[in-house]
């Protein structure tokens, strides 16, 4: 009697499903492995879709990492394209399917993998079905957008949502020669990634690229031409003319198959799984954008759909359906995006998230050079570090710049995963040579500023705190210690502001204080911190500096005209 082959059935051909199938094949050469995919493509790089629309990626085939033929010929895995999973019969161990010709049939499984992904959330806006209104979920969506641009030659684009996809598509539409308006319901761009002051750098970058960003506004409806083509987006306060529109306000986990099968759905409305990525039915595993994960900082379930997570989970699932006992510990939400010439990244918790989670928070914002300051091609990188004020444990970071942002955020991600505190982070033995980094990296600087705050050496106020103090606080003195040239280009225009360059401050006495609360600021806090210490030496008692200073000042600056 021949030994029976284990039947492994995977539903979903995006990232987690094919990864699980491939890993299972490597561990079990005899298993009967099938992948069901409702679409026409399997194992495609969804994160690359905006770059196809922009023209940076020339052909859609570049985004299809593996074909159905590849899986069959190289791995002996059957991929059933245009085949939908309709329902799961857990007692019988079968999935009821329907193919492209409408034929329905059951497929048996010994181990079932749900990798059903997520679907874009499209609110019930009037006019959302007009020609030229799109979402971006998969290859067909991408091709439809590209085809529309080619045929209709739109000149004005409107985007609802200033998240990752929204801003990547803003760049794509600009690359296609369009004017772009982005509408965001919340108060700053990338609200799920960044704190307000860090997001101000993104706001300025978008403005510099000619992207119009409308914040704190809700989209109400689309209006169209008589021919059924979109012509206008109506918000709370204005009408935005557009020839093409994208709705990009987030995704929801695709859980209908799991829900109808009676599997447990978690607090985040995604599928609940254990450390082995098993659902509430031990024979059914789930991974990728349809599941919730444990956050390694808070220990609570979160829904953070990322391709990187999906691939790692796929490997764990593939190991386990082939008889192993691998585990997936959780995530810290590390992410990075390209916003024109800026790299924007985060890991762990933002300051706002950390406070909401119950931590007593201390943070720092530094803006040193990315390489030695004397080396050709030097640029600036801005890093915000978030830590637990009670023990210095690293909780999160955000980093923005034009070079080497990923390296810095990955260092902090590693520190968080290892439970490091700011003292350990400030002492990390990182690589140094002038063409690659400064002798003290941004990570070291940020950790040391937090340490200085914790021991009372550095005293700061945040931009939000200072903004509140500026309203009716006569004993507040805001000391701008930048050079005359910097001051003439842009400044905070307010009666409480006094411009005194550092060289003049060094020659002065303690007359600045005179019973006032002094807040020094510059472009990036380096000189402002020096000013704080200088005034303290002169006898001033209540001196602070603006954390991050003007590089992350989220409010409008006065820019004198020539």
pLDDT at 500: 93
Q: What is the pLDDT along the chain (562 residues), one digit of tens a residue?
A: 356 899 999 999 999 999 999 999 999 999 999 999 999 988 888 889 999 999 999 998 888 888 999 999 999 999 999 999 999 999 999 999 999 999 999 999 999 999 999 999 999 999 999 999 999 999 999 999 999 999 999 999 999 999 999 999 999 999 999 999 999 999 999 999 999 999 999 999 999 999 999 999 999 999 999 999 999 999 999 999 999 999 999 999 999 999 999 999 999 999 999 999 999 999 999 999 999 999 999 999 999 999 999 999 999 999 999 999 999 999 999 999 999 999 999 999 999 999 999 999 999 999 999 999 999 999 999 999 999 999 999 999 999 999 889 999 999 999 999 999 999 999 999 999 999 999 999 999 999 999 999 999 999 999 999 999 898 778 899 999 999 999 999 999 999 999 999 999 988 877 878 888 999 999 999 999 999 999 999 888 899 999 999 999 999 999 887 5
On whether both 265 and 350 belong to a single domain, the answer is no
Domain membership of residue 124 (yes or no) is no
For residues 295 and 304, give the distance between their C-alpha atoms in angstroms, rounded to a whole number.
9
User: Is-contact 183 214, C-beta < 8 A?
Assistant: yes
Flag whether the pTM goes above 0.75: yes
For residues 223 and 130, give the distance between their C-alpha atoms in angstroms, rounded to a whole number.
8
For residues 340 and 204, give the distance between their C-alpha atoms in angstroms, rounded to a whole number.
12
On whether both 245 and 141 belong to a single domain, the answer is yes
On whether both 219 and 297 belong to a single domain, the answer is no
For residues 499 and 482, give the distance between their C-alpha atoms in angstroms, rounded to a whole number.
8
Question: Of 402, 432, 454, which marks where a domain is finished?
Answer: 454
Beta bridge partners of 517: 476
Place of tokens 């929204």: 166
pLDDT at 431: 95
Instruction: Print the domain residue range for 408.
Output: 341-454
Compute the 3-state secondary structure of the chain and give helix, strand, coil in percent, each to the nearest 5: 30, 25, 45
User: Is-contact 340 171, C-beta < 8 A?
Assistant: yes
On whether both 301 and 274 belong to a single domain, the answer is yes
Domain membership of residue 416 (yes or no) is yes
Domain membership of residue 108 (yes or no) is yes
Domain membership of residue 560 (yes or no) is no
Smallest CA-to-CA distance from 288 within 117, 164, 84, 138 is with 117
On whether both 57 and 94 belong to a single domain, the answer is yes
Please give, one letter per residue, the 3-state secondary structure of 184-233: CCCCCCCCCCCCHHHHHHHHHHHHHCCCEEECCCCEEEEEECCCCEEEEE
pLDDT at 65: 82
On whether both 464 and 389 belong to a single domain, the answer is no
Domain membership of residue 334 (yes or no) is no
SS3 of residue 56 by DSSP: coil
For residues 153 and 132, give the distance between their C-alpha atoms in angstroms, rounded to a whole number.
11
**CATH code assigned at 371:** 3.50.50.60
Domain membership of residue 83 (yes or no) is yes
Domain membership of residue 561 (yes or no) is no
On whether both 148 and 57 belong to a single domain, the answer is no
**CATH code assigned at 525:** 3.40.250.10
SS3 of residue 546 by DSSP: strand
pLDDT at 61: 87
pLDDT at 269: 97
User: Is-contact 32 57, C-beta < 8 A?
Assistant: no
Question: Of 293, 321, 349, which marks where a domain is finished?
Answer: 321
pLDDT at 3: 66
For residues 527 and 481, give the distance between their C-alpha atoms in angstroms, rounded to a whole number.
7
| Active-site residue flag, 290 | no
Sheet holding 111-114, edge to edge: 78-81, 32-37, 7-11, 111-114, 284-286
State the angle between helix axes of 196-208 and 164-175 in degrees (0 to 180), rounded to the nearest 10: 10
On whether both 317 and 372 belong to a single domain, the answer is no
Where is 235: in which H helix or E strand?
strand 230-235
- Six token digits for residue 470: 């500026």
Number of domains the chain contains? 4
Sheet holding 543-546, edge to edge: 460-461, 543-546, 517-521, 476-480, 497-499
- Six token digits for residue 366: 């530094």
Question: Of 249, 283, 302, which marks where a domain is finished?
Answer: 249
pLDDT at 160: 98
Residue 149 CB contacts under 8 Å (≥ 6 apart), including other chains: 53, 176, 244
- Six token digits for residue 468: 């509140």
Residue of 47, 293, 418, 522 with catalytic role: 47
pLDDT at 329: 97
DSSP states along 268-317? TSSBP--TT-B-SSTTEEE-STTB-EEBTTT-SEE----HHHHHHHHHHH
For residues 351 and 388, give the distance between their C-alpha atoms in angstroms, rounded to a whole number.
10
On whether both 225 and 210 belong to a single domain, the answer is yes
User: Is-contact 18 66, C-beta < 8 A?
Assistant: yes
On whether both 112 and 18 belong to a single domain, the answer is yes
Q: Is the dihedral of CA 407, 413, 417, 421 positive or negative?
A: positive
- Six token digits for residue 484: 């005359």
DSSP states along 469-529? HTSS-TTEEEEE-S-HHHHHH-B---TTEEE--HHHHHH--STTTTT-EEEEE-SSSHHHH
On whether both 286 and 214 belong to a single domain, the answer is no
For residues 307 and 309, give the distance between their C-alpha atoms in angstroms, rounded to a whole number.
5
On whether both 244 and 257 belong to a single domain, the answer is no
- Six token digits for residue 500: 């005194």
For residues 122 and 207, give the distance between their C-alpha atoms in angstroms, rounded to a whole number.
27
């Amino acid at each position: 009697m021949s030994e029976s082959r284990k039947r492994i059935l995977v539903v979903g051909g995006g990232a987690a499903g094919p990864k699980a199938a491939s890993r299972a094949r490597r561990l079990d050469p005899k298993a009967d492995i099938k992948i069901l995919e409702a679409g026409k493509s399997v194992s495609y790089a969804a994160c690359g879709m905006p770059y196809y629309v922009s023209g940076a990626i020339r052909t859609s085939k570049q985004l299809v990492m593996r074909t159905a033929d590849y899986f069959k010929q190289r791995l002996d895995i059957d991929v059933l394209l245009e085949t939908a999973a309709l329902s799961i019969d857990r007692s019988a161990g079968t999935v009821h399917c329907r193919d492209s010709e409408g034929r329905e049939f059951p497929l048996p499984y010994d181990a079932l993998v749900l990798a059903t992904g997520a679907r874009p959330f499209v609110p019930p806006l009037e006019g959302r079905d007009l020609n030229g209104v799109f979402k971006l979920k998969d290859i067909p969506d991408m091709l439809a957008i590209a085809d529309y641009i080619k045929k209709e030659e739109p000149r004005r684009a409107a985007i609802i949502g200033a998240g990752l996809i929204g801003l990547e598509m803003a760049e794509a539409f600009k690359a296609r020669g369009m004017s772009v308006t982005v509408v965001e319901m919340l108060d700053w761009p990338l609200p799920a990634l960044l704190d307000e002051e860090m997001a101000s750098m993104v706001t300025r970058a978008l403005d510099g690229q000619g992207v119009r960003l409308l914040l704190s506004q809700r989209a109400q409806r689309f209006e169209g031409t008589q021919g059924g083509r979109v012509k206008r987006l109506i918000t709370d306060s204005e009408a935005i003319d557009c020839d093409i529109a994208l709705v990009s306000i987030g995704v929801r986990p695709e859980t209908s198959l799991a829900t109808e099968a009676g599997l447990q759905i978690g607090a985040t409305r995604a599928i609940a799984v254990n450390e082995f990525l098993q659902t509430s039915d031990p024979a059914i595993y789930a991974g990728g954008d349809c599941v919730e994960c444990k956050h390694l900082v808070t220990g609570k379930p979160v829904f953070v759909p990322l391709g990187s997570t999906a691939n790692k989970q796929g490997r764990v699932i593939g190991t386990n359906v082939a008889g192993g006992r691998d585990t997936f510990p959780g995530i810290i939400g590390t992410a990075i995006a390209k916003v024109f010439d800026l790299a924007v990244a985060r890991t762990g918790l933002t300051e706002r998230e950390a406070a909401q989670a119950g931590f007593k928070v201390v943070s720092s914002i530094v803006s040193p050079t990315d390489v030695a300051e004397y080396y050709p091609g030097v640029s600036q990188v801005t890093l915000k570090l978030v830590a637990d004020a009670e023990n210095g444990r690293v909780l999160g970071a955000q980093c923005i710049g034009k070079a080497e942002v990923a390296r810095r955020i990955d260092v902090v991600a590693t520190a968080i995963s290892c439970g490091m505190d700011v003292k350990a982070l400030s002492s990390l033995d990182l690589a140094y040579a002038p063409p690659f980094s400064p002798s003290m990296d941004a990570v070291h600087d940020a950790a040391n500023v937090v340490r200085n705050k914790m021991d009372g050496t550095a005293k700061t106020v945040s931009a939000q705190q200072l903004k509140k103090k500026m309203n009716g606080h006569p004993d507040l003195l805001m000391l701008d210690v930048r050079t005359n040239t910097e001051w003439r280009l842009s400044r905070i225009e307010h009666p409480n502001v006094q411009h005194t360059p550092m060289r003049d401050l060094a020659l002065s006495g303690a007359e600045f204080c005179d019973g006032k609360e002094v807040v020094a600021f510059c472009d990036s806090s380096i000189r402002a911190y020096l000013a704080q210490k200088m005034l303290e030496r002169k006898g001033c008692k209540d001196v602070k500096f603006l954390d991050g200073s003007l590089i992350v000042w989220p409010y409008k600056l006065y820019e004198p005209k020539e």
